Structure 1
Amino acid sequence: MPAAAYRFGPFELRPGEHILLKDGARVPLSPKAFDLLHLLVERRGALLEKQALLAAPWPDTFVEEANLSVQVAAIRKALQPDADGVIETVSKRGYRFTAPIEEVLPDQDESSQVVRLLVLPLRVLAPNLEAEFLSRSLPDAIASTLTAIPWLSVRAPFDLYGRRPQDGTSIAADADVVLEGSLGELSGQTCVMLRLLRAPSGVVLYTEQATVGPGTLHDLQGRVSRELARQLSSHFGRVEPAGSSSGGPATPGAYVLYLRANQLAYETSQWAAAQELYEAALREDPQYAPAWARLGRCHRVIAKFEAPATEAQDAFSRAEAALTRALALDPDLSLAHNLYAQLEVDLGRPEQAMLRLVSRLGAHPHAPDLFAGLVHVLRYCGLLDLSIAAHRCARALDATVPTSVHHTWWMKGDPERALGETFGDIGYMPGLALASLGRDREAVAALRWRERETTDTRVRCYLVSLRALLEGQRDESLEALQRLRVPVDAEARYYVARTYAALGEHDLAMEELTQVVDGGFLCHETFARDPWLSVLHADARFAPVVARARARSERAAVEFARAGGTTRLRA
């Protein structure tokens, strides 16, 4: 069992929280230096050769010996005046950690465990437009700030991956603390009442009551977020965080525009309106990093699901520019890193997305959304077993967090398990899984039902293409595939490729499969055993395409291990 903490002298190293303490106070240490110290402590007493350290599994690998010396010097400086006899230098060879160590196992130290916070939408006691707007946007903004705390797992009305608001009453049992509240009117002003409750006892840990207007919203969010961090640190014996890495906007007006945009950004029909509000907020304050990050998401989803083929690439470019700007303003903004990882997958760079998410887990090891993102990204990299492990990590932190593991199970050749995980799917995977189990009649019924329910043209095209194929309606299936024009991502192109192959359109299938691999979807084992693709095996182009996918997937596996990803999934 991995240690929850390592104690030596006045110091305590907590790997799960990525912090070093001295007499209970945080000691500043860069992520690289922390990971190096952690490695030395884990291998205490052993000589760690420089070459082994240079190849150690850090998110941003050292490439020169001088960099290693710089990090060792930073560790020694952080340990002063107690550094003597802690790290021994063995000339021309490497380093050895020599101080006595006390390991603290997880069941010995509750402070190493994650604190689970559920942030509920506010109850509206006096319905009006202002109250409806604040009921979800204010809790969402507070929750986004608190996600920066490494020992805290936050569930909120919305999450970074854009799933719909949840009813918190059904999931409160899995929380340690709950933030709830209400909105009403007092003397014509909107009044906010917030309470932090210990679960399941309902003991009140903190309350806040305030009247709010456009000019005071951000002050309220900042005050509540700081006080919540203080209260949680005190009640659960944690180190109080220094605060959010991202400050607020320069003007109250920019903040109100930002919150209103957040409210709209999760409704498909309102993406363009949300984009305009983010742009308006940034005209008032061009330095507000979260607005740049969420603007990037708007550009991305519009490019992926709505933009005509001739405009999609420009929209993706605008998305990348906005997210790059957000990270330039605030390099530690988790929101921007998470959203950028999604964009990198869409742009055919799943390896970069994978490393970005693993790096974020170093600072935020209890974030279920990061593990949920890895489920998606690792599947694209062809690392199916690791994708499933990431799903299990996500669900261990949050039993309700949605992931795309149903696609992973199907790619693994287990449609039964895929069928059991399809809640929230667009409707394609239930039909595909049923068909893979030989239950074509049920598959057709499920697809037809979903066709009637959806208003999304592209989604309907996918559903029709599969349903018509199963019914033997070749022309209808082909027409649906051609209406798709631009599949939304490389995985979707794979489903298109195999459908073309089953329809006997071998050249179109091969062209699509080539685009699948070029676009960064690397499930080479699935390609090789997919019965619908077996008709392509005689094509001279098939084997080289699969080989390219295999080689790239194998490189991704090495990079994932070097970045510490396998360790994160075992923790």
Structure 2
Amino acid sequence: MQETRFAFGPFVLDPGAGTLLRDDDPVAIGYRGLKLLAALVGRAGEVLGKAELMDAAWPGTAVEEGNLTVQIAQLRKLLGPAADGGEWISTVPRVGYRFSGSARKLGAAKRRPLPLPDKPSIAVLPFVNVSNDPEQEPFTDGLTEDLITDLSRIPGLFVIARNSSFVYKGKAVDVRAIADDLGVRYLLEGSARRTAGRVRINAQLVDTLSGDHLWAERFDRELEDIFAVQDEVTGKIVEALLGQLWPPPRPRNIDAYDLCVRARRLMDDTPQAAQEAHLMLTRAVSLDPDYAEAYRWLAMNHWMGWVHSGGPTEAARGLALELARKAVTIDPADAGSRWILAYLLAYEHSFTEADAEFAKAIELDPNEADTWAALSDIEVLAGRVEEGLEHIRKAFRLNPFPASWYYLALGQAQYAAGDYAAAIDTLRSDETYRTSSRRFLAASLAQLGRLEEARTEVELFLVANPGFTIRHWAATEPFRDDAMLAHFVDGFRKAGLPE
């Protein structure tokens, strides 16, 4: 999950982390310089053309060749002479440049193990689909996701979020290494086979410290009994770890459940895929009108404008709020529905009700990482920056390999705190989805006086968001603090975003 590091002379270059060390001390290297150095060192001894190098440092951007010349000169000054007195980077006239030194690969830097929480901690690894039919993959993934949700509702457990568990899907990784990566003691592993109206599930609970299997069982049932099996698996795990049981409510219709499982896989994809998810969810609620989760995702679809050409209208946002309220009414104990309702209420500036819903979501499920990430966004814009930073850090602990929007929330919080360099690092990381986060990246660059880079980010942002204006953004975001609003507007204006 991390890029290869390279060692040359006294230096260690880590492109994934964006760092260059000289004798273990950090070297102040710019973003463009680091990208150029990574391209050159990664193909040491080869001649790289100017166009190729410019594409590495300024992807998708038309820049003058003089920018490359300046960056190479700065790199040479930064690196100093090689051991033989020559240059690390040599010029090939009329062609490009070559890294002349000897570089060796070190492999990815090992992640530092996360400390164990002060209560039983568990991750549910993606169940393996052992059916011969690849179409059953969504069903198996849905089983995993539901078990994660069920366990996260149990008071007294620390449960890793879905995104981080699914990093290991289809990979053969030692359980001890996974436990170190995620900072948990227990892992649930399993497999599922669905065929001819029946389902067979194997599950086992592993203590990664001792290597012991605390519990293992096989279930062979009718497909309609899948929810009973989920309850039994959850109950066995909780009984093993806490000595108590707490079964959650279930959908009534297996076909509605199947549609919702498939729709969930499409929600973080393209707008076209989200429209397909909308059709599935609409069908799901028609089959089971009391299915809270389907209403929850329908609410997000309407609020994000994924099912409306041109983006969400006022009517669409009103419908989203109505659907979120319905989800909470159907299942008041569903923390996922609660935080989505809270988030939508905040964007409607119904702050008192939003705060109450966020508090209830956390009370119901303190392991719901998305709640903490969404709350971070709202707290930062309310001027409570330290609380916002604390919440997003908690979200990352529960979900060490999260969805890209977590990085946007973290970058926004770092900008709000005035830590512009950290915000730039966050918003430029490979994990960040840059379509919407570029505005905060541009503002952070502008606040540090890096106006050329800021203008480039603005141009790229406006390609995907041609109708964006600072005035409209400021009016629709859930700001509760005038000074915080002014801080963001100031950065946007310096970056050159349209008024």
TM-score by length of 1: 0.55
Alignment of 1:466-481 (within 5 A): none
SS for the counterpart of 1:166 is helix
2:415 corresponds to which residue?
410
**Runs of 5+ in structure 1 lacking a partner?**
1-111, 235-239, 448-461, 466-476, 488-495, 498-510, 537-541, 543-571
List per-residue Cα deviations over 1:218-274 (Å, max 9, x = no partner): 23223222222222213xxxxx24332xx2222333322332333333323321222
Report the alpha carbon displacement of residue 295 of structure 1 after superposing the two structures with TM.
Answer: 2.5
SS for the counterpart of 1:179 is strand
Alpha carbons 2:198, 2:223 under 8 Å: kept: no
2:253 corresponds to which residue?
251
SS for the counterpart of 2:313 is helix
1:484 corresponds to which residue?
466
Identity of aligned residues (%): 20
SS for the counterpart of 1:264 is coil
Measured in 2, the distance between the counterparts of 1:518 and 1:278 equals 27
Alpha carbons 1:350, 1:381 under 8 Å: kept: no
Question: Is 1:375 matched with 2:384?
Answer: no
Alpha carbons 1:151, 1:365 under 8 Å: kept: no
Report the alpha carbon displacement of residue 326 of structure 1 after superposing the two structures with TM.
Answer: 1.6
Question: Is 1:150 matched with 2:108?
Answer: no
Match of 1:273 among 263, 272, 276: 276
One-letter amino acid of the structure 2 residue matched with residue 259 of structure 1 = V
Alpha carbons 1:192, 1:209 under 8 Å: kept: yes
**Runs of 5+ in structure 2 lacking a partner?**
1-116
Measured in 2, the distance between the counterparts of 1:391 and 1:310 equals 27
Alpha carbons 1:372, 1:394 under 8 Å: kept: yes
List per-residue Cα deviations over 1:426-475 (Å, max 9, x = no partner): 32144543443334455567x4xxxxxxxxxxxxxx6535xxxxxxxxxx
Match of 2:144 among 139, 147, 152: 139
Cα distance change of structure 1 residues 384 and 314 upon mapping to structure 2, 3 Å threshold = same
Higher relative contact order (CA 8 A, sep 6+): 1
SS for the counterpart of 1:271 is helix
List per-residue Cα deviations over 1:332-370 (Å, max 9, x = no partner): 221210221232233344553333222333344454433
Match of 2:478 among 491, 507, 520: 520
Match of 2:246 among 227, 242, 248: 242
Question: C-alpha root-mean-square deviation of aligned residues, in Å?
Answer: 3.5
Measured in 2, the distance between the counterparts of 1:530 and 1:242 equals 45
Report the alpha carbon displacement of residue 310 of structure 1 after superposing the two structures with TM.
Answer: 7.8
Cα distance change of structure 1 residues 289 and 430 upon mapping to structure 2, 3 Å threshold = same
Match of 1:300 among 303, 328, 341: 303
Question: Is 1:425 matched with 2:432?
Answer: yes
One-letter amino acid of the structure 2 residue matched with residue 295 of structure 1 = L
List per-residue Cα deviations over 1:76-112 (Å, max 9, x = no partner): xxxxxxxxxxxxxxxxxxxxxxxxxxxxxxxxxxxx9
Cα distance change of structure 1 residues 212 and 521 upon mapping to structure 2, 3 Å threshold = farther
Question: Is 1:327 matched with 2:328?
Answer: yes
Runs of 4+ in 1 over 6 A off after TM superposition: 185-189, 533-536
Cα distance change of structure 1 residues 180 and 254 upon mapping to structure 2, 3 Å threshold = same
SS for the counterpart of 1:208 is strand
Measured in 2, the distance between the counterparts of 1:484 and 1:313 equals 20
Measured in 1, the distance between the counterparts of 2:353 and 2:147 equals 29
Report the alpha carbon displacement of residue 139 of structure 1 after superposing the two structures with TM.
Answer: 0.3
One-letter amino acid of the structure 1 residue matched with residue 143 of structure 2 = L
Measured in 1, the distance between the counterparts of 2:261 and 2:410 equals 31
Cα distance change of structure 1 residues 347 and 134 upon mapping to structure 2, 3 Å threshold = same
Match of 1:176 among 181, 185, 192: 185
Aligned residues: 360
List per-residue Cα deviations over 1:410-434 (Å, max 9, x = no partner): 1222211212333433321445434
Report the alpha carbon displacement of residue 285 of structure 1 after superposing the two structures with TM.
Answer: 1.9
Alpha carbons 2:189, 2:204 under 8 Å: kept: yes
